[in-house]
Chain A
Amino acid sequence: MDRVQKLNLVGLSKADYAAAPSTLCKGCGHNSIANQIIQVCYELSLRPQDVIKLSGIGCSSKSPAYFLGQSHGFNSLHGRMPSLGTGALQANHTLRAIGVSGDGDTGSIGLGQFKHLVRRNVRMVYVVENNGVYGLTKGQFSATAEYGQDLKYAGHNDFPPIDVAVEAIVAGAGFVARSFAGDAKQVRELLKAALSFRGLAVLDIISPCVAFNDEDDSRKSYAWGRANERALQELGYVAPQDEIVVEDYDPGTTAVVELHDGSRLTLRKLEADYEPNDRLRALERLRRGEEQGELVTGLLYYDDSRPSLAEVSGFGATPLSELPDDLLRPGRDALEGLLAAYA
Chain B
Amino acid sequence: MGVQEPLSSPCVGAAPTAIVNDFSIAVATANGTGSQTANLALLRSFFKMGIPVHGKNIFPSNIQGLPTWYHIRVSRHGYVARRSPELLVAFNPTTIHEDVAGLPPGGVCVYNADIRYTPDRADLTYYPVPVKELLQDVDVKGKVKDYVANMTYVGVVAHLLGVPLDVVRRSLEHHFGGRAHLVASNFDVVSRSHDWARECLQKVDPYRVEPMDATEGLILMTGNEAGALGAVFGGVSVAAWYPITPSTSFIDALRDFLPQLRKDPEGRPTYTVIQAEDELAAIGMVVGAGWAGARALTATSGPGLSLMAEFLGLAYFAEVPAVVWDIQRVGPSTGLPTRTSQGDVAFAYGIGHGDTRHVLLFPSSIEECFEFGYKAHDLADTLQTPVLVLSDLDLGMNNWMGEPFAYPEEPLKRGKVLSAEEVERLETFRRYADVDGDGIPYRTLPGNQSPRSAWFGRGTGHDENARYSEDGAVWWRNMERLARKHETARQHVPTAVIQESPGARLGVICYGTTRYAIEEARDALALQGVAIDVMRLRALPFGAEVEGFVAQHEDLLVIEMNRDNQLRDILRAELPQHAAKLHGVGYIDGMPLTAAWVERQVLGHLNGRVD
Interface residues of A (CB under 8 A from B): 16, 20, 47-50, 52-53, 64-65, 69-77, 80, 82-92, 94-95, 112-113, 116, 120, 313-316, 318-323, 325, 327-330, 332, 334-336, 338-339, 342-343
A71 to B449, CA, bound (A): 10
Pairs A-B, 8 closest by C-beta atoms: A83-B284, A87-B288, A328-B235, A321-B293, A87-B285, A91-B294, A91-B292, A87-B289
Chain B residue numbers with a CB within 8 Å of A65 are 456, 468
Question: Which one, A70, A74, A87, A329, contacts B458 given CB within 8 A?
Answer: A74
Chain A residue numbers with a CB within 8 Å of B288 are 74, 76, 83-91
Question: Which one, A69, A74, A313, A314, contacts B457 given CB within 8 A?
Answer: A74
Question: Which one, A71, A80, A87, A338, contacts B238 given CB within 8 A?
Answer: A87
A75 to B320, CA, bound (A): 13
Question: Which one, B218, B237, B257, B454, contacts A338 given CB within 8 A?
Answer: B257
Asked whether B453 lies within 8 Å of A49 as measured between CB atoms, the reply is: yes
Asked whether B293 lies within 8 Å of A91 as measured between CB atoms, the reply is: yes
Q: How would you classify the secondary structure of chain A's contact residues: helix, strand, loop or mixed?
A: helix
A49-B454, A53-B456, A92-B445 given; name 12 further pairs at CB < 8 Å.
A69-B454, A72-B453, A72-B455, A82-B284, A83-B276, A86-B284, A87-B238, A92-B447, A94-B447, A318-B264, A325-B411, A339-B219
A8 to B270, CA, bound (A): 35
Chain B residue numbers with a CB within 8 Å of A73 are 454, 456-457
| B 433-481 contacts with A by CB, 8 A | 444-460, 467-468
| B 289-327 contacts with A by CB, 8 A | 289-296, 310-311, 314, 318
Asked whether B219 lies within 8 Å of A343 as measured between CB atoms, the reply is: yes
Chain B residue nearest to A339 (CB atoms) is: B404
Tell me, yes or no, whether B605 is within 8 Å of chain A by CB. no
A120 to B277, CA, bound (A): 11
Asked whether B454 lies within 8 Å of A336 as measured between CB atoms, the reply is: no
Query: What string of 1s and 0s marks CB contacts (under 8 Å) between B403-427 and chain A?
Result: 0110110011000000000000000
Could you tell me the distance in whole angstroms from the C-beta of B488 to the nearest C-beta in chain A? 24
A69 to B453, CA, bound (A): 10
Asked whether A343 lies within 8 Å of B284 as measured between CB atoms, the reply is: no
Chain A residue nearest to B278 (CB atoms) is: A112
Could you tell me the distance in whole angstroms from the C-beta of A99 to the nearest C-beta in chain B? 11
Question: Which one, A82, A329, A334, A342, contacts B234 given CB within 8 A?
Answer: A329
Asked whether B219 lies within 8 Å of A342 as measured between CB atoms, the reply is: yes
Could you tell me the distance in whole angstroms from the C-beta of B449 to the nearest C-beta in chain A? 5
Could you tell me the distance in whole angstroms from the C-beta of A120 to the nearest C-beta in chain B? 8
Chain A residue numbers with a CB within 8 Å of B571 are none
Chain A residue nearest to B47 (CB atoms) is: A343
Asked whether A113 lies within 8 Å of B284 as measured between CB atoms, the reply is: yes
A319 to B295, CA, bound (A): 12
Q: Beyond A49-B453, A332-B407, A338-B229, is A316–B459 a contact (Cβ under 8 Å)?
A: no
Chain A residue numbers with a CB within 8 Å of B448 are 49, 72
Asked whether B264 lies within 8 Å of A83 as measured between CB atoms, the reply is: no
Q: Beyond A50-B447, A112-B278, A116-B277, is A70–B285 a contact (Cβ under 8 Å)?
A: no
Chain B residue numbers with a CB within 8 Å of A113 are 277, 280-281, 284
Asked whether B287 lies within 8 Å of A87 as measured between CB atoms, the reply is: yes
Asked whether B232 lies within 8 Å of A330 as measured between CB atoms, the reply is: yes
Asked whether A87 lies within 8 Å of B296 as measured between CB atoms, the reply is: yes
Could you tell me the distance in whole angstroms from the C-beta of A108 to the nearest C-beta in chain B? 14
Question: Which one, B295, B447, B458, contacts A49 given CB within 8 A?
Answer: B447
| B 152-199 contacts with A by CB, 8 A | none
Asked whether B240 lies within 8 Å of A87 as measured between CB atoms, the reply is: yes
Interface centre among B257, B280, B284, B290 (most CB of A within 10 A): B284
Asked whether B294 lies within 8 Å of A86 as measured between CB atoms, the reply is: no
Asked whether A76 lies within 8 Å of B459 as measured between CB atoms, the reply is: yes
